Amino acid sequence: MPETPSRLQRDLKQNRPFPSVAQEAMLSLFKTVDDLRRGAIQVLEPEGITLQQYNVLRILRGAGAEGLPTLEIVTRMIEQAPGITRLLDRLERKKLVHRERCPTDRRQVTCRITEPGLGLLARLDAVVDRTNRHLLGGLTTAEQRQLIQLLDQVREGLPAG
């Protein structure tokens, strides 16, 4: 008796089983991340910012008045951002961040979130939280915790780099 097609097989209109469970798991993860990303973008787009810009603003809010050097922001980002300078340029043009060169080391630039940046995040906090809860609404709180643990295990097993 043939296996019932998985949700991913149905979504991708794939008639044959995947060559391995690992491949199906990876593709399912990629598809899920894409779906979640699109849900988050719908909340941020009306405010004129991207997911990466939102991430930088949250990082800088957490850093407080001291701010952070540019390279430290990069290490804290969820997604790798090869164009961090351009990303910060856009946020600075929108007056959401301020950059300042270190007087003793001109190569180091400290970034701080501005009052308008803090205001934007304050406006977004509740709607982002509601969106997160909605997007993960198919899971109980316990299942969400289990998902976090499983994803932690996956990341722990990845090669460093």
pLDDT at 47: 94
pLDDT at 160: 77
CA separation for the pair 125, 156 (Å, rounded): 29
Domains identified in the chain and CATH numbers = 32-155 (1.10.10.10)
Q: Is 112 strand, coil or helix?
A: strand
CA separation for the pair 69, 60 (Å, rounded): 10
pLDDT at 161: 61
The answer on pLDDT for 2 being more than 60 is no
pLDDT at 83: 87
Tell me the average pLDDT of the chain. 92
pTM score, whole prediction: 0.88
Pairing of strands 68-69, 109-113: antiparallel
